[in-house]
Each structure stands twice: as C-alpha cells, then as structure tokens.
Amino acid sequence: MYRHEIKYVIDYHDFIIYKHRLDGVLKRDPYSQDKAYTITSLYYDDHYDTALKEKVEGYASRYKYRLRYYNSDYSRIKLEKKSKTEQMTHKKSVWVEENYELNREFEFLIKYGVIKPVSLVRYERLAYVHPLGNLRITFDMNVRGVKHGPDLFDSEDKYSPLLKDNHVIMEVKFNGVLPDFICRLLESNRHMQTSSSKYVFSRLAIV
C-alpha cells in the first residue's frame, strides 16, 4: 500500500519538545521502548546515479534499493525496494536469505553490474505509532554516513556526520489523512519540511 511520507529537519530542542508531547499520547514502537535503536543502511545506485538524480530533480516516479540491519544484528539483514509515485511511498521488504522475487531481482542487478553500493548511512531512531491511519512518527538522530567505498559492515570510525548542528530528521508516515491531534502536537514555526532523504544527504555535502 502506498502511504504519505512527510519529512522535516528539526533542531534538537524541538525534538525534545516533541518527544515529551508524544510520550504522553502515543505508544513507542516495540524496538524503541526503552531507548532509540540503531539502523544501518547500504544504498545502491547505477553507474549514472539515476536514483540520486531523479530524487534531486523531483521525478514523480522513482525507486531505490538498500540493505539494512538493526543494532548490531548482522544475522538478520533486510533487502528493501522503496518506490515513490507523486507524494506517496511504497516499500517492499524481505530478508536477504528468503527466496522471493525481490531477492532474485536484486541479485540479477548485482550480478550483471547494473547497480552497485554507493553510500552507507547509520543513525539512531526513536519511533511512535498509532493505529489511526497506521500512523508512524520517527526521529532519526546522529545521522552519519560513509560516502567512499562503503561496506555494510564498516566500523564506526569510518562514518562522518551528514547534518549540521545536531539536527534531527523527523518523518511522519500515514494512510489517508493526518489526524488533527497529531497536527497540533507537531505544530511549530521553527522546523522546515524537506524533500531530501538520508540517501541524498549521504551523497551530497553536509546540510
């Protein structure tokens, strides 16, 4: 199912405010009950940087591939294909050891050199959920990356910050219409909506 996905770059002060508000209203997702969890993603693109160019130039329809694992659990790696049509997003996700069409598609592209790993991104995520509209609000902190010769298992000392001034990426994902009470909780004149993704931040200069 395609979903709405709105992204903001906010400062750490606003993150603390939103965290306090949301803790009183929403539940945290199962992975961030006590603290934020770490996500590591290896992004792929072709030799023409098509995924990057289409994102920066605002193509209405586009997609990208990534491998992802959580915390330090190297035994469970996800393959994801994230697509966007107009303002709606859709994500296919499978475990790499499974035998699905997406795995075979990805293996074919790798085998014949159509796509290659281009950047690695790591961050700590705090996530909130609500059943209304399948709402999910995430805060990604300490966003950092490896831009040259990335490997999924690169050590922490190879990463560099991707955002200035301890900024946090807030993402609001939902089906249908965003509930009014959520709009009020996230109301602020201080943050800015962004069309850029962590993938773009990992390929371009620090913002």
pLDDT digits (tens, 9 = 90+) for 125-141: 999 999 999 999 999 99
Name 138's Cβ contacts closer than 8 Å, sequence gap at least 6. Answer: 125, 126, 127, 128, 170, 171, 173
Residue 192 has pLDDT above 80, yes or no: no
The domain covering 3-203 belongs, at the CATH homologous superfamily level, to VTC, catalytic tunnel domain (3.20.100.30)
Q: How confident is the model at residue 164 (pLDDT cuts 50, 70, 90)?
A: confident
Largest separation between any pair of C-alpha atoms in the chain: 51
| C-alpha span between 30 and 35 (Å, rounded) | 10
Q: How confident is the model at residue 190 (pLDDT cuts 50, 70, 90)?
A: low
SS3 42: strand
Task: Among 20-34, 102-116, 175-189, name the most confident range.
Answer: 102-116
pTM for this predicted structure: 0.93
| C-alpha span between 15 and 114 (Å, rounded) | 39
pLDDT at site 189:
58
Q: Is the dihedral of CA 194, 1, 74, 72 positive or negative?
A: positive
Residue 20 has pLDDT above 70, yes or no: yes
Residue 36 has pLDDT above 70, yes or no: yes
SS3 3: strand
Q: Of 98, 78, 117, 83, which is closest to residue 2 (Cα–Cα)?
A: 83
Mind listing the pLDDT tens digit for each residue in 39-75? 999 999 999 999 999 999 989 899 999 999 999 999 9
Name 161's Cβ contacts closer than 8 Å, sequence gap at least 6. Answer: 142, 143, 144, 206
Residue 205 has pLDDT above 80, yes or no: no
Q: How confident is the model at residue 77 (pLDDT cuts 50, 70, 90)?
A: very high
Q: Token pair for residue 75?
A: 């035994």
